[in-house]
Amino acid sequence: MTEFEFEEPDTLGEDLRMIRAQLRRFVREAIVPQADEWEQSGEISRELFLELGRLGFLGMRHPAEFGGGGMGAMSSVVLGEELARSSYGGVAAAVTVHSDMSISHIAHRGTLEQKRRYLPAACAGEKIGAICVTEPNAGSDVAGLKTRAVRDGDCWVINGNKTFITNGVQADIYVVAARTDPHAKGSRGISLFIVDRGTPGLTVARKFEKHGWRASDTAELFFENLRLPADALLGEEGKGFYYIMSTFQNERLVAGALSTGQCAKALELTIDYVRTRQAFGKTLWDQPVVRNKIAWMAAKSAAARALVYSCALMVDEGKEPVREVSMLKAFACEILQEVVHGCLQLHGGTGFIIGTPIERMARDARILTIGGGATEVMLEEVAKRL
């Protein structure tokens, strides 16, 4: 198979080019051969986290003094793209939720003691992270969450439930959003807490069977009189909403990278297929309508990727491109739907058979227009800033 490649941006740098090459080799040799088993079991092996940790891929954005790499947003983009090119979206989701969406809260806002306690093990893959925000009646609308944390002497007591939590079954470290001020309106009065696996009062109620991302475990959690020490509070009390919104920026950037990585893989698979598939006395590639469709999908994928890299560069320059990141989340994830389903169409009946890469990718792609901020929500964020 000939790998489909976009032109590498000059801003990437030699270190990240080397990391990309290492990641691609690791995906080919360590992920793809095992991923079908993970799809069947509904969770990836803990050994994968340990292997990624040993290679330094889980903490590239985290401080070097706690086991991380001290790198910028570009490293998250490279990680997301290369994991997505495995063609197993669930694997990419589980790893990036750990590295870029849950543990990152501790890296950015944790006390020195919290960082010492959690980051080295997380960067090494010895402990797995999950971010617990979504509730049955609060998804993209974070301000509507109902889980409560009440002060009781030197402790906090949490009651409520969370749903659709990636890594919820396997996680060792849960970053939980709860309302600490019931009288505050909307986004005010929400705080974050660190909850360890096995804390009395935490129950993994069920493991979901999903349309896609089947290799990642996704759970519903219940908190019943879960008691935490005062130092489990992460960051300042009442600032949780703003912390979540800030990390959403990175989550949306990673979602864009997952999208462009999947686009590249889908195009790679499809170009290989149509160059050998015979129809009406010639290959599909010899049909201009097929070549033009693939060229058009490649052009849109390249445009989405350019926006992803542009936003990553702005973040690394210290800017806060909320409008642009909202644009890329909407655009890249919608382009992915067009590309994977267009590629499935060109695979014909083969693309409809469970177990073929393009069929799996079409299922896995669907969640990306929903999770991390639905397309409709993202477009409203853009419109408010026009």
Within a 10 A sphere around the Cβ of 289, how many other Cβ atoms?
Answer: 8
Within a 10 A sphere around the Cβ of 169, how many other Cβ atoms?
Answer: 19
209 is catalytic: no
Report yes or no: 301 and 309 within 8 Å, Cβ to Cβ. no
User: Rounded to an integer, what is the distance from CA 171 to the centroid of its chain?
Assistant: 15
Distance, in Å, from the CA atom of 309 to the CA atom of 281, rounded to the nearest integer, reads 42
Report yes or no: 193 and 233 within 8 Å, Cβ to Cβ. yes
3-state helix, strand and coil shares in percent for the chain, rounded to the nearest 5: 55, 15, 30
Report yes or no: 162 and 220 within 8 Å, Cβ to Cβ. yes
Identified catalytic residue from 220, 251, 268, 334: 251
Tell me the three-class secondary structure of 149-200, residue by residue.
EEEECCEEEEEEEEEEEECCCCCCEEEEEEECCCCCCCCCCEEEEEEECCCC
Q: How far is CA 316 from CA 19, 65, 77, 79, 91, in A?
A: 18, 20, 12, 16, 26
Within a 10 A sphere around the Cβ of 152, how many other Cβ atoms?
Answer: 11
Distance, in Å, from the CA atom of 107 to the CA atom of 291, rounded to the nearest integer, reads 46
- Tokens read off for 279: 């129809």
Alpha helices in 277-386 (DSSP H): 288-316, 322-347, 357-365, 375-384
- Residues with active-site annotation: 251
